[in-house]
Chains A and B, each alone.
Chain A
Amino acid sequence: MEKISTEIRKRLVTMHQTGSHFGSAMSIVDILTVLYFKIMNIPSPDDPDRDRFILSKGHATSAWYTTLAKKGFFPEEILDTYLDDGGQLYGHPVRGGVPGVEASTGSLGHGINIGIGMALAAQNDGKDYKVYVLMGDGELQEGSVWEGAMLASRLKLDNLVAIIDANKLQGFDRVENIQPINTFRGKWEAFGWIVKEVDGHDHGELEATFHEVPFKSGCPSVVIAHTIKCKGVPEMENKFESHYLSVPKDKVEQYVKELDEER
């Protein structure tokens, strides 16, 4: 499992020689690995009973693409065309752009409400699938997130799981220096969700926590995953600049080597 995450991160190092959001993608790799390889049941990307995943922080989509390719939903060579003219892989996900991408996102605060619609359909149709929505911590500044937070608990959607990639950083600075929301456990609880906090890079802890979903029958669940932005690249870890910077060509080898050694 850790090996899969390392492979994904190494791939991201090469992909991110162009474009931004390298750090945002590296931040969520372990969450995606655990969900796709241990938790979610997706026999095929169009199976009507599959578990659903929505990447609400769409700017980290390179990590999603790579996970889907590792999962075998499309050939890994397609990853080489990331951001290429005429290609399939935009810098924000497009529904159906490649198999497994469930929803088009990129503007923040949209995913939770789409997820609510999917979870509601499952509930009404008596289907067992769960809906996982991954958001950033900066994203929680969008009001539409809290419209959805209110709604999901009223609708008793215990098949809905929100995951917060709490890397404490956003576009300009640390989240706490821009719009402090570091008490967001209490906020989610006040909105009727059951909260669990985990180390967002600890596969065992993530897996055990996701297995406990729903944390309480009749309530939506939220996993606050404490993460490190740009996890796996020591000189970029925890730096908000990793939101923008591409990987310099002469650093690729070093970063890949460090990832191998860390493992």
Chain B
Amino acid sequence: MRRAFINTLLELAEKDPDLYLLTGDTGFTILEEFQKRFPGRYYNIGISEAAMIGVSAGLAMSGKTVFVYTIVPFVTMRCFEQVRIDLCYQNLPVKLVGVGQGFTYGTAGATHHAIEDIAIMRALPNMTVICPGGPIETKKAVEESMKLSGPCYIRLGKSGEATVHESSDISFTIGKGIKVRDGEGVALVATSNMVPVAAEAADLLKKEGIDPVVVSMHTVKPVDRELIADLSQSCFLIATLEEHNVIGGLGSAVGDVILEEDLPVRLVKFAIPDVYAPVVGSQQYLREQFGLTPGQVFSRIKNEIL
């Protein structure tokens, strides 16, 4: 996904002489090409995230389009107040790009896990939260983010993420979920790196005669209320899937809509149960600990239905 991001950014920077990229000293082997081609618009600010966000605001206030790139906790939490005031309060079109969704940096430890980012970014007025489900959606998300007049947060993985789309030519609109496959009865609504997990779980369910809808809810804020209402017509159960804390993420966003619209549908949340990972683990291992693998999703859905 990092590769998809930077390749898209290179294309955009070619066309837009006011596009800047800032990094907080991360992105080794990813950002060099941008630096080489656009040296006056690339700044490694150093390990100073608060300053980096302030600088991005000042550049945006001077007519620049700024992408700020670093690992999720350092672009959302370390400098949270700068994001809140400098970007959101002032409503500036700065794009925060966080690398390492969920347990991407599993063995690095919980300092590097990204499990609260969606919740805290969602809580900020003016902020748009986009969690692309793979490289194809990443490219589209970055392109579409150029149309936003306010700040956005784009949550990325690292490398080797699966895609669920057969073609790279997908229709992608910020705020509109994508039906990856149609079905009925059950809807698997996933975001970010759980979209491929949802697709695999759907394959397993299909073998049992259950034909779930699979949705990539790439924009968690504003969440696609229309699509959720629509799903509640054809499904009796919506399962949300996210590699994120159970509080404040996709499950909460979808749950809010169900309650507010009084939709006749059950909600099951697949998420991290409000804990920091208690043991060392790779992404795959930690997913297993929290019931986030396709097989576990399949089993729990089956149990919920029977």
Contacts and interface: CB of A to CB of B under 8 A. Distances in A.
B256 to A, nearest CB: 28
Contact of A116 (B40, B54, B64, B81): B54
B90 A95 contact: yes
B125 interface: no
A114 B50 contact: no
Contacts of B263: none
Given A104-B89, A143-B50, A147-B50, A113 B81 contact: no
Q: Which one of B46, B54, B89 has the greatest number of beta carbons of chain A within 10 Å?
A: B54
Contact of A117 (B41, B56, B81, B89): B56
B273 interface: no
For chain B, give the interface size range: 20 to 34
A104 B82 CA distance: 11
Interface string A157-174: 000000000000000000
Contacts of B52: 113
B62 A122 contact: yes
B59 interface: yes
Contacts of A118: 58-59, 61-62
Contacts of B48: 147-148, 150-151
A107 B54 contact: no
Q: Which one of B40, B41, B52, B57 has the greatest number of beta carbons of chain A within 10 Å?
A: B57
Contact of B64 (A48, A103, A121): A121
A109 B62 contact: no
Interface string B26-51: 00000000000000110101101011
B55 A151 contact: yes
A104 B90 contact: yes
Q: Which one of A102, A106, A112, A124 has the greatest number of beta carbons of chain B within 10 Å?
A: A124
Nearest to A116: B55
B143 interface: no
A104 B61 CA distance: 11
A117 B40 contact: no
Nearest to A119: B58
A95 B85 CA distance: 11
A144 interface: yes
Given A103-B61, A110-B85, A117 B50 contact: no
Contact of A114 (B40, B54, B63): B54
Interface of B: 40-41, 43, 45-46, 48, 50-64, 81-82, 85-86, 89-90
12 contacts: A95-B89, A110-B82, A114-B58, A114-B61, A117-B57, A118-B61, A120-B55, A120-B59, A122-B62, A148-B48, A148-B54, A150-B51
